[in-house]
Structure 1
Amino acid sequence: MTVVAVVAEPPREGLVLPELAETTPLSGEEAADLYAAAYKDVVSAVADSGGDLLVNYRSDVDLPEKHHGEQSAEEELRALARDALDGADDTRFEVQVGTTRSARVGNTITHLLDREEATSAAAISPTAPLLARTHVDGAAMKLRNNPVVLGPTPDGDVYYAGFADTIDFQGAYEPPAVETMATRAVDAGHAVEYTEMLPTIDTAAGLRSLVSLVRSRVTAGRIVPEFTAMQIDDLGLRVEDDDGPTLVRE
């Protein structure tokens, strides 16, 4: 069984998705609400899969004081997971260790593989709400024959990074992360496989892609990420393409 770590931060204004508040019609508070919705969809997908869910969170000790909240980071993320899963008492939560994204993911993956002797472990971004159970299970199948499996985003980032063996994680998420991580894997003598490309909401371009895909699925009567779709509808987000694709509000 693959241990799947959702690498999350508490959804607080200015801490999460800061680029959206600067480059889209969303305010910082609305960007945080969208992050929370995406996190709930990702946690739900992993919980429905055959993987072993772990929420790997940044504690308040590791956050700037201006981003401290009334609740602790763990309490805040537990409450959201509880809402998404109709109870999260059995969900495993552990604090991230490290000063950068690469270090935090590397420490988590290395601990799971070396200390806990997990067969495989994966790190997933909570900003990829189109992630489904099938993506998680499909990647786990590929990890049986490939030491490294990557889920790329259209802009060269990685929303899924799965490992059956470790690599040198120092700077592994340096952009373009999909290239950097593949290079580290090959340098370690590992074969690399890929899972489906999905957009994330970390950037305006990624959010535009997500909004269009979700609205298309709603129109077609297909499955959508429940919480993110509701948030998109509540915010009235859509994409216009008069002089290039632009995110607007109805």
Structure 2
Amino acid sequence: MTVIAVFADPPRPGLVLPDLADSSPLSAAEAADLYAAMLKDTMRAVERSGGELLVNYRDEESLPDEFADAGEGSAEAEVRALATDALDDPDEARFEVQVGSTLSARAGNTISHLLGEEDAQSAAVVPGTAPMLTRKEIDSAAMKLRRNEVVLGPSERGRVHFAGFTESVDFADAYETPAIETLTNRAVDAGHEVGFLPTATSVATGADLLSLVPEMNARVAAGRIVPEHTATLLREWGVRVAEGDAGPELTRTQTDSS
């Protein structure tokens, strides 16, 4: 069983998806709502897979000062509330605080702890912003990890939406751009075999929504599985892609809900 560590922040405006409001029709508050929806879909996908869900969250002490103690409750309480809403059995999920000052450090500490101290056979880190990560893909990654020490899921602009390991690598700055290439090089340097998953969208900016929204709408029209919370929210807002003066652009039929 692969332990899947879903990296989660409390969904506070300005803290999560800070670039999305500047590059899309969404406000900072709506970007936080979208983050919460994507995180719920990611946790649900892991729960329904053959993996073990570990919600790895940042607490107040690890948040930037302007966002610490800015929520209605503690960071842990906010993340747990999302899990309660998303999961069939939230009591089965583990919750642990992330340790480290950067994404690379936090990912490295998590993987090293799971493989080294908990003796997990395999462990993976996924962001809470990759709603197209499915149960099927997670189970496929687990199969690939039987033949490869490292399995990576590419995302836009050289990022990754999944990073799985049976053996550790040098994680110092391992998520530096382009993360898919950097992580692969670290794995090869350590003598590991690397496998890959299909590319999937991880949302950080409006450009990412340009990829995500048409795919979700197409899957809805075809009667295929979609990330429920994410798709519902974007369709409620009427977010769509249309041809603009400079090419495809995001539009919406509902006004700012913040």
Give TM class, smaller chain: over 0.9
Shift of 1:91: 1.1
**What letter corresponds to residue 155 of structure 1 in structure 2?**
R
1:246 aligns with 2:249: yes
2:23–2:207 Cα contact (<8 Å) kept: no
Instruction: Give the match for residue 41 of structure 1.
Output: 41
| Inter-partner Cα distance in structure 2 for 1:59 and 1:247 | 33
**Alignment RMSD:** 0.9
The one-character-per-residue Cα deviations of 1:143-200 (angstroms, maximum 9, x if unpaired) are 0110000000132100100000000000000011000000000011101100111011
Tell me the matched-pair count.
250
The one-character-per-residue Cα deviations of 1:97-156 (angstroms, maximum 9, x if unpaired) are 000000000000000000001000000111010111001000000001100000001321
Shift of 1:241: 1.9
Q: Secondary structure at the match of 1:7?
A: strand
Instruction: Give the match for residue 256 of structure 2.
Output: none
Shift of 1:87: 4.2
Instruction: Give the match for residue 123 of structure 1.
Output: 125
**What letter corresponds to residue 216 of structure 1 in structure 2?**
A
| Inter-partner Cα distance in structure 1 for 2:248 and 2:105 | 35
* Structure 1 unpaired stretches of 5+: none
| Inter-partner Cα distance in structure 2 for 1:46 and 1:64 | 28
Instruction: Give the match for residue 183 of structure 1.
Output: 185
| Inter-partner Cα distance in structure 2 for 1:136 and 1:23 | 30
Stretch deviating more after TM superposition (181-190 or 63-72): 63-72
1:81–1:87 Cα contact (<8 Å) kept: no
Instruction: Give the match for residue 199 of structure 1.
Output: 201
Superposed, 1:68-79 pairs within 5 Å as: 68=69, 69-79=71-81
**What letter corresponds to residue 52 of structure 2 in structure 1?**
D
Misfit runs of 4+, over 2 Å: none
The counterpart of 2:146, out of the listed 140, 144, 147, is 144
Shift of 1:17: 0.4
| Inter-partner Cα distance in structure 2 for 1:122 and 1:35 | 20
Provide the TM-score with structure 1 as the length reference: 0.98
The counterpart of 1:163, out of the listed 162, 165, 179, is 165
| Inter-partner Cα distance in structure 2 for 1:220 and 1:148 | 34
2:7–2:57 Cα contact (<8 Å) kept: yes
Instruction: Give the match for residue 28 of structure 1.
Output: 28
1:148–1:165 Cα contact (<8 Å) kept: yes
* Structure 2 unpaired stretches of 5+: 254-258
Shift of 1:89: 1.9
| Inter-partner Cα distance in structure 1 for 2:169 and 2:194 | 12
| Inter-partner Cα distance in structure 2 for 1:154 and 1:29 | 24
Percentage identity across aligned positions? 58
| Inter-partner Cα distance in structure 1 for 2:29 and 2:66 | 14
Q: Secondary structure at the match of 2:152?
A: strand
Provide the TM-score with structure 2 as the length reference: 0.95
| Inter-partner Cα distance in structure 2 for 1:84 and 1:8 | 14
Shift of 1:65: 3.0
| Inter-partner Cα distance in structure 2 for 1:137 and 1:44 | 14
